[in-house]
Each structure stands twice: as structure tokens, then as C-alpha cells.
Chain A
Amino acid sequence: SQKIEQNSEALNIQEGKTATLTCNYTNYSPAYLQWYRQDPGRGPVFLLLIRENEKEKRKERLKVTFDTTLKQSLFHITASQPADSATYLCALGDYGQNFVFGPGTRLSVLP
């Protein structure tokens, strides 16, 4: 069955460091992958989309990589700030109707 895993339920890093979050999938052939941020009690907010033929996407301090051989996406936040603390969700979609979210990683950036 299709499975999406995000590296850990929670990740703590020091302010100023680079946070790296992982999204791994099995039994799935995604056409694209998205990353969302969710704050407590709020709906997810879209951050970045990367397609299967793209290796890397950047947006300000955010960088996403997509390796379809490893079946993995990495999400990096450089120069992390306490305001980056949130839950980050990856979501995969294929060319059909399949679209599924991962369980999320709760990131805490410590001052």
C-alpha cells in the first residue's frame, strides 16, 4: 500500500542553523510534491511545489529537493528563526486523482 513517512514527529534545532526535513514514500509514483506549513489551530499554508522532472526549487530561505530514485524529498530552511516553528507537511500527487498528505514533522527552532 502507499505510504508516506516524514523523518520524525518532532525536530528541535538552534536558531540560525539549517533545518532539514525529510519526506519518504513507497509504492507511489508522484507527478509532483508539495510542502505546507501548519500552525496550531490553523489550516495548512502552501509553501512550495516541485514536479517529478525538477531536482530543486528555492524560495527565499526555503529549498526543496526531489529525488525520484531515492523516493525522497528534502525540505531545508536556512538561517532558521523561532518564527519558523510549526508543523511541516509534505503532500504527493500523481497524474490521476491520488493526492495524499504525510503525517507531518513538528519543527521547533530554539532561540
Chain B
Amino acid sequence: ETGVTQTPRHLVMGMTNKKSLKCEQHLGHNAMYWYKQSAKKPLELMFVYNFKEQTENNSVPSRFSPECPNSSHLFLHLHTLQPEDSALYLCASSQEGGASRDTQYFGPGTRLTVL
């Protein structure tokens, strides 16, 4: 286990549902990240939190809403998603999230299917 856990591992939801993805890191890191990985596409960075503050939002639609209550926990709240949002959502953490980004430790991901 990498020290970064994600729940649930699999999620199927309808376009009108509201759900949340959870990530927890046990590594004492200060930065956490959400990535989206779609088939045949590179990993896409969605959000970065550094010391609980959001430092990056890469033009992510508002139907994805992140929350970082503390340095160990990160949530991704989902509502009114589209089928094209179906993907593997990966959480990662690193010691710091500023310039010269550190080695990132990834969780196992949540496989999301939007019907």
C-alpha cells in the first residue's frame, strides 16, 4: 500500500446524482492532488492543494468541487456529471506542492462510470 487510500474504488452514478470521492494520505505530506485519467489520454491534473489551500484549478468544470478540510484528507464532490466524465480519478500527495514539485505518491484510484 502506498500510504494514500481512496474510497470508493468503484462508483456508478446517474447524471442527476450527487456523490463524493474521498482520499486520505498517511504520509505527513502537505500537498494533495486530484487527477483524471481517461482511456488513451494522459493524466490530467485537476486540482492542487498546498497546506489546505487550493493553489491550482486547471479549468475544471464546476460540477467537480474539491474540498480539503486538512492536509491529510481530500474530497471531490460530484454533481450533475456527464457520461464523458467517466474515468479513473486518482488522488496523490507530496511533501510540498509548490514549484519544483516533489515525488508524488498516488492512491489506487476510483473508477467512475456515469450513466
What is A's interface to B at a CB cutoff of 8 Å? 4, 31-32, 34, 41-46, 49, 89, 91, 93-97, 99-104
Contact = CB atoms under 8 A, between A and B. Distances in A.
A44 B48 CA distance: 17
Given A4-B42, A89-B43, A104-B42, A43 B2 contact: yes
A63 B3 CA distance: 26
A105 B45 CA distance: 19
Nearest to A32: B100
Given A43-B106, A45-B106, A97 B99 contact: yes
Tell me what chain B mostly uses at the interface: helix, strand, loop, or mixed: loop
Given A41-B109, A97-B55, A103 B100 contact: no
Contacts of B43: 44, 89, 91, 101
A34 B92 contact: no
Q: How large is the interface on B (under 10, 10 to 19, 20 to 34, 35 or more residues)?
A: 20 to 34
Nearest to B100: A31
Given A43-B91, A43-B107, 19 more contacts: A31-B100, A41-B109, A41-B111, A43-B108, A46-B103, A46-B104, A46-B105, A89-B43, A91-B43, A93-B100, A93-B101, A94-B99, A95-B99, A96-B99, A97-B48, A97-B55, A97-B56, A97-B99, A102-B42
